[in-house]
Structure 1
C-alpha cells in the first residue's frame, strides 16, 4: 500500500511540475506536441501522404506484388487522394519552374496544356514553397505539413495571450485549433489549412493595430494576406477576410478605442493593400475563373452544395456562456452554423449565384466553427477556477448520462439487429457502421468519466482536507489538459495517413515503357488515373482540376459526344476513342484495361473501351491487366498543314469537325482565314522541337510559305515569335494553334505570359514598394519626434 502511495505521490508531483512548465514554456510544449504527432516521419522515415491509396487502389500500381502485402496494400483514408493526384505533383512541378528561374505559368502535362499559376489550387506563389528550393521535394513536403501544425499552434498562442488568456487555457486552445477537424482533414492537401493557419496571426495583429498607433501592424497584416491569398484556396481566405472585418469592427465599435475613424480606415487599408500585394496571384486567377468551366460544373449542387446533414449537429457540444469579448466568438460560431447546415441562409449564396461561393462547398465553413470553438474552449478552461465546481460536475454528469444512454442504445440496437432480424443482420454495412460508431464513442465516454472523477476528487479535497487547493487545482487542470491533448492526437493520427517512402510514385513496368518512348507525345485513358502521370513527366490530353478553361471542357464534349452541350466537369476525360480528333491532339498512346460492362470495374473477362484493339489502335505493351495501345494515326506535336477549311460560325465549326472525311484526310478547321494558298509540293522540315517552361520552340526550313499546326491548347495569352518578330496565332481544330511561317530557315518560339499576370506583377511590386516606403517613413518620423523631445 505504501509503495502504491509513493507512486501516486510521484505521479502527482510529476503532473504538477508539468503544469508549472506549461505556464512558462507554452511554445516549447506546442513544439513537442507537433513533434510527437510527426513521429512516423521522424522515427519511421515515412511521409505525410496517402500513398497507400496510390498503390492499393489505383492501376497500374495494383498490378504490382508489393513485398509484405500479399493481399494488397491496406488503405487508411481513400477520401484525400487529391493530395497525391493534384497537390504534391503540382508543388513538385512548381519547384521545377522556380529552380529554372521561371514563373510557373503553364502546365504542359494536363488538358493538352492549361494555365498553371492561375488555377490558384496549384499554390505556385505561396512563400513557404521556398522549402522546395532548399530541400528535396519529399522532405520539403514533410516540413511544409509539419509547419502547418506547429505554426498554427504558435499563432494561436500569440492570439489567445493577447486576449488576456494564460497558461493551460492557451495550450488547450492552441492544441484544439492545430488538430481541429478542418485542419486535420485538409492537412495533407496543404492548401486550405495553409491558408487557415494565418487567421490567429491576423487577429493578433488586428488587436495590436486597434490598440496602438504603430503603422507596422497594418503593414504586417497586408503582408500576411499575401500568404493567405496565395495558399491555394478560395473559401478560407474569403472567410478570413469576413472574420477580420467583423472582428476589427467589433473592436472599433464596442471596445475603448480613442480614434474610431482612424482605426476603421487602417482596418480597410490593411486589407486593401493585402489584396493589391497579392495581385500577382489574384488577377490571373480571376481572369481564368471568368473563362473557366467552373460555373457549369454541377458537382457541388449534386452534393447539396456541401451543406452538412442535420444529424451532424450532434458533433457539436454546447458549453455555457462566458464573458465579454467571448460574445464575438459565440456570434461567429452560431452564424457559421446557420450557413453550414441546410437552412435558408445556408442555401442563400447558391440561390443568389454569388461568384466563387456558389461553386464551392459550404462544408468548409466548419473551419470557422472549429476556430470559434477552439477560442471559446480556451476561455471556458480559463474560467474553471471561477465557477461553481459542484454545478460543473453536475453538467458533466448529465452529459455522461446522455452519452451512456446513447452507448447502451447502440449496443441494444446491435444485438437486436444481429439476433432478432435475420434479414437486417445480413446487411453487413449497417452492422459494421454500428460497430464503428460504438468504437468511436468509447474514447469520448472514457474522457468524460475521467474528467468527472478528477473534478469530484478536487471537490472532495477542497471540502474535507487542508491541502493547498491551488496546487490540487493545477494538478487537475494539468491532468485534464494532458488527457485532452492525448485524445486530440489520437483523432489526428486516426485521420492522417503516413506512408512508406517506397510507395512515393514508384515506376511500374508500364510507366517505364512510356517514360522511355521518344517525346513529344500525349496519353489518354483510365489505365493511368488523372494527373498521376504528371509526376513522371508524361503529358496527357486529360486532367483533373476544379478550374480550367471552358474551351478545353467543350473540346471533351465535342470529342465524346459530337457537340459542346455536355461540358466536361472538373474531370476532363476522353471516352470516345473512335473520334479522329484524337489524332491532332498528339495522343499516341491510350492506356486501358478490360472492364465489366455492367459496373465498369476491372475484369479479366470484360471489354476494352470502344475504338481500341483495331487496325488503328494496336496493343504494344501490357503489365498484367493494363494495356498500352498505340494510335497509328497520331500526328506529331508540330506538323505542316496540307489542307484546311475556314468555319464561318460555331455551328459550322462543329459540323466540319464531325465530318469523318475531313478528319481522315487531316483537314485542319480554322476559325479565321489565314489568307494564304498552300503549295502541296512544299515539304517543311521541322526539327529541334523543345517544350520548356512556358515556351515551345522549334526550327523550320521550308521552300514556300507554310501553315504549321502546334498541338497545344490555344490561349489568348500565347505569343508566337519568328526570328524575334511577333506573328498571329490561329485557333485550329477547336482547341489548338496554327501559324503562318514564311519560306526559309527560321527559329519559332511560342511564349506564354498572361497579360493579367504582367499587370498583377506590376501592381504587387508597386504595392510592396509603397509598404516598405511607409515603414521607412514611420521610422524616420518617430526618430525625429524622439530627438525633438
Structure 2
C-alpha cells in the first residue's frame, strides 16, 4: 500500500510522461482551438491589467465593451487561475505554456481526487488506480482538453462524491464540506453547463447511495444544502454574472439529444474514428472520441460477480440519469426543460456524456477489485511473459502513434483484442504475485494502460497543433508592417474592424490592446445585437460583419481602421473608396485601411461645443473636459451595462441609454469635468458574502477533522 504523497508524486510524473510532447522541455505541440483562441485571450487580458496595477472590471476590447467580472468564462475568481498568474509574474504577457500547464494539471488533479475517492471505498489499490485512469486519461478528458472550464469542473467531481461517501459512512453532515468546496470550485472554473452536470451527478449519487448508511435522508438533504452553500462561496462571481443576465438573450443549446448510434463504438473501439494529425480536417467531422480503455472493458464482465450489487447502485444511477439527459429519449427531457428560460441555456445534452466516464471509473474499480479478490495459482512463466508482452505491445503502439499510422475503424478492434488479452494476462499474474515482483507488475500494468490511452488519445487533431505558438508583442504583429501596427496601437482609443475570414480573430485583440465592435463571446447583449442588425449582418449567433461602406455605423461605433487582406471580400469596397487610405508601403498579408472621417467613440449632442478633450481613458474610467455655450449630451459609445455611473465636477448625475446600446449624460452649459466610471454594483456584496462563507467553510473543515479524530 502506497501513501497518498507517493501516489500524488507518482501520478504527477505519470501525467508529465503522458503529455510530454505538450510540456517542457519538449513542447513539440500545443493544445489548439478554444483554449488558445478563447480562454487564453481572457486570461491574458486579466494578467496584463493586474500587471498594470488595475483589477480587471471592464473589458473594452470586444463588443464595444462588456463587463469582465461578469464574464464567468474568464474564471477570474477561480483560485488556480491566480496560481497561474503568480507563476508567470514578471512577464509582460501571460505565456500560453502557463495556460496549458494549468489545464494539464487539472488532469492530474482529476486522477488523484478520483483515486482518493475510490480508495475511500476500501477497494484494492490497483483497482482504484485503474478506475482513476479511466476517469482522467480516457477519451473524454483527452477530447475536451481545449475547454478550460469543462476540464476544471469535471476534475472536481470526485472530491464531492468522496464527501458524500464519507457522510454516509460516518452518519454525519461534516464531510459534506467536500461537496461545498468542489461545487464552488467547479462553478468558478467558468462553465455553468458542466457545473449543472456536476450538481446532477452529485445529487443522483447522494440519492441512490443514501440507503447504504444510517444517514439516508440526512445525507440527501445535507448534499443539497452543501451545494446551496457553495453558491455563497462563489457569490463574488455569481452576483456580477446574474446582474448582467437580463441584458443577454438566453441560448437554447440543449439540442435534440444524442442521436448517433456510432458514438457507442467510440467508447469501445480505440480508433474507430481516425483523428490522426495526418488526416484531412473534414475526416470524421462531427464525430467524437470517448474510448474507455481496457481496464473498463475487461472489468465489465466481472461486475455481475459482485456480491454486494448495492455498492454499484450510485454509479449505475449516474450512468442512467446522464444517458437519459444526453439522449433525450422520445423528447422527454426537452418536454420538461423547455418551459424554463434558464434550463435550455445551461442544460446541454452533449456535455452530460461526462457522466458516462464518471460512472465507469467506480464501476471499473469495483469490477477489478472483485477480480483481484479471487486468488488462484498461475504458471510460473505467466509473469515474465506478461511483462515482456506489455513492454513489446506498448512500445509497438507508441511507435505507430509516433508515425500516426494506427489502424482505424473496425480494424482498430484488433488492437483492442490484443491489448485486452495482454492486460488480462498481466492482471492474472498480478493477482498471484507477491512482494517485489508484485510491485513491478503494478507499475507495468499502469504504464501499459497509459501507453494505450496515450497512443489513441494524445497528439490528435482534436487536441493538438504542431505549429509554433505565436507570441504577441508590443513591437510587431505577424502579417502586418511594424509601422502600421504601431499606428494602430497609438490610436488604440479608436476601434478596428477585422475580417472574420482572414483574421485576426477579434478576441485575440485582447493580447495587444486593440478594441473592436466585433467579438466572439456568449455575453453578446440583446441591445448590441439589435444595433448590429441595423448596421451589419450576423454570420453565427456571435460573429458578425460591419458594412465598411456604412459611414453612419463607422462613426457610431468609433471605427478608424479596417484590417483586411488581398483575399478579403471587403477589399473591393476599400481599395478604391475615397474615404479610406491604405497604410504602409511594403507588401504584407494584412492590408490595413484608415477611415479618414473617423469619429472617436464619444460625441457631443446639442449646441456647439468649444472644447471636448479626453483626459483619462482607462477601461473602467473615462474622463472628459467639456466647454460649451449651451447644454447638451455627452455620449460615451461604450456598452451601457449595470454599474456605469457618471459625475459632473464630482457630483453624481444620471446616466441614460443612448443610441440603443450606449450611454450619455446631460451636461449643462459652461466648463465641466465629466467622468464615466464602471463598478459592478454587486461585486462588493458578492465579495463580502464569499469571504463570510469562506470563513464558515474553514470552521466546517476544522469541525470535520476534529470529529474524525475523536
Task: Please say whether Structure 1 and Structure 2 have the same fold, judged by a TM-score greater than 0.5.
Answer: yes
Counterpart pick for 1:688 among 611, 615, 622: 615
Q: 2:37 corresponds to which residue?
A: 85
Ranges in structure 2 where 5+ consecutive residues have no aligned partner: 89-93, 269-296, 378-403
Aligned partner of residue 508 in structure 1, secondary structure: coil
Q: Cα offset for 1:486?
A: 0.7
Q: 1:637 corresponds to which residue?
A: 601
Larger radius of gyration: 1
2:175 and 2:704 in contact (8 A); partners too: no
| Distance in 1 between residues matched to 2:43 and 2:8, nearest whole Å | 29
| Distance in 2 between residues matched to 1:162 and 1:779, nearest whole Å | 16
Q: 2:387 corresponds to which residue?
A: none
Q: Cα offset for 1:23?
A: 11
After superposition, what is the alpha-carbon deviation per residue over 1:656-687, rounded to whole angstroms, capped at 9, x for unaligned?
Answer: xxxxxxxxxxxxxxxxxxxxxx2x3x312313
Aligned-pair RMSD on alpha carbons?
Answer: 3.7
Q: 1:119 corresponds to which residue?
A: 71
| Distance in 1 between residues matched to 2:39 and 2:440, nearest whole Å | 44
Counterpart pick for 1:281 among 228, 237, 254: 237
Q: 2:113 corresponds to which residue?
A: 155
After superposition, what is the alpha-carbon deviation per residue over 1:178-214, rounded to whole angstroms, capped at 9, x for unaligned?
Answer: 2233322222332110111110111112222333366
| Distance in 1 between residues matched to 2:622 and 2:405, nearest whole Å | 54
| Distance in 2 between residues matched to 1:437 and 1:343, nearest whole Å | 35
Q: Cα offset for 1:308?
A: 4.8
Q: 1:504 corresponds to which residue?
A: 471
Q: Cα offset for 1:282?
A: 1.7
Counterpart pick for 2:363 among 354, 371, 376: 376
Q: Cα offset for 1:311?
A: 1.8
| Distance in 2 between residues matched to 1:355 and 1:388, nearest whole Å | 56
Are 1:36 and 2:36 counterparts?
no
| Distance in 2 between residues matched to 1:88 and 1:349, nearest whole Å | 37
Aligned ranges for residues 218-233 of structure 1 at < 5 Å? 218-233=176-191
1:708 and 1:738 in contact (8 A); partners too: yes
Q: 2:393 corresponds to which residue?
A: none
Call closer, same or farther: CA 1:91–1:294 in 2, change over 3 Å.
Answer: same
Aligned partner of residue 506 in structure 2, secondary structure: coil
Q: 2:415 corresponds to which residue?
A: 446
2:481 and 2:588 in contact (8 A); partners too: no
Aligned partner of residue 544 in structure 1, secondary structure: coil
Aligned partner of residue 563 in structure 2, secondary structure: strand
Counterpart pick for 2:260 among 291, 303, 309: 309
| Distance in 2 between residues matched to 1:612 and 1:375, nearest whole Å | 63
1:523 and 1:540 in contact (8 A); partners too: yes
Counterpart pick for 1:608 among 571, 574, 580: 571
| Distance in 2 between residues matched to 1:310 and 1:22, nearest whole Å | 43
Aligned partner of residue 494 in structure 1, secondary structure: coil
| Distance in 1 between residues matched to 2:24 and 2:692, nearest whole Å | 46
Q: 2:487 corresponds to which residue?
A: 516
| Distance in 1 between residues matched to 2:444 and 2:86, nearest whole Å | 41
| Distance in 1 between residues matched to 2:9 and 2:259, nearest whole Å | 37
Which stretch of the first structure deviates more once superposed, 266-275 or 319-328?
319-328
1:543 and 1:573 in contact (8 A); partners too: no
After superposition, what is the alpha-carbon deviation per residue over 1:327-377, rounded to whole angstroms, capped at 9, x for unaligned?
Answer: 321232233223323632575268625444423542111111111122212
| Distance in 2 between residues matched to 1:483 and 1:581, nearest whole Å | 61
2:615 and 2:624 in contact (8 A); partners too: yes
Counterpart pick for 1:208 among 166, 172, 195: 166
| Distance in 2 between residues matched to 1:722 and 1:96, nearest whole Å | 30
TM-score (norm 1): 0.72
Q: Cα offset for 1:81?
A: 1.8
Counterpart pick for 2:517 among 535, 541, 562: 541
Aligned partner of residue 684 in structure 1, secondary structure: strand
Call closer, same or farther: CA 1:201–1:460 in 2, change over 3 Å.
Answer: closer
Aligned ranges for residues 566-645 of structure 1 at < 5 Å? 569-575=541-547, 577-595=549-567, 608=571, 610=573, 613-621=576-584, 623-642=587-606
Q: 1:145 corresponds to which residue?
A: 103
Call closer, same or farther: CA 1:451–1:587 in 2, change over 3 Å.
Answer: same
Aligned ranges for residues 376-775 of structure 1 at < 5 Å? 376-386=363-373, 438-439=407-408, 445-452=414-421, 455=424, 479-495=444-460, 496-497=463-464, 503-505=470-472, 507-510=477-480, 512=482, 513-517=484-488, 518-519=490-491, 520-526=493-499, 527-560=503-536, 569-575=541-547, 577-595=549-567, 608=571, 610=573, 613-621=576-584, 623-642=587-606, 678=607, 680=608, 682-692=609-619, 694-772=620-698
1:684 and 1:703 in contact (8 A); partners too: no
After superposition, what is the alpha-carbon deviation per residue over 1:439-458, rounded to whole angstroms, capped at 9, x for unaligned?
Answer: 36666523422432564698
Call closer, same or farther: CA 1:347–1:43 in 2, change over 3 Å.
Answer: same
Call closer, same or farther: CA 1:189–1:515 in 2, change over 3 Å.
Answer: farther
Q: Cα offset for 1:578?
A: 2.4
| Distance in 2 between residues matched to 1:256 and 1:236, nearest whole Å | 29
| Distance in 1 between residues matched to 2:689 and 2:229, nearest whole Å | 10
Call closer, same or farther: CA 1:533–1:45 in 2, change over 3 Å.
Answer: farther
Ranges in structure 1 where 5+ consecutive residues have no aligned partner: 1-19, 51-79, 391-434, 596-601, 643-677
Aligned ranges for residues 260-271 of structure 1 at < 5 Å? 260-271=216-227
Q: Cα offset for 1:108?
A: 0.4
2:430 and 2:438 in contact (8 A); partners too: no
Aligned ranges for residues 55-66 of structure 1 at < 5 Å? none
1:91 and 1:122 in contact (8 A); partners too: yes
Call closer, same or farther: CA 1:309–1:695 in 2, change over 3 Å.
Answer: farther
Call closer, same or farther: CA 1:505–1:294 in 2, change over 3 Å.
Answer: farther
Call closer, same or farther: CA 1:284–1:339 in 2, change over 3 Å.
Answer: same
2:144 and 2:151 in contact (8 A); partners too: yes
1:685 and 1:700 in contact (8 A); partners too: yes
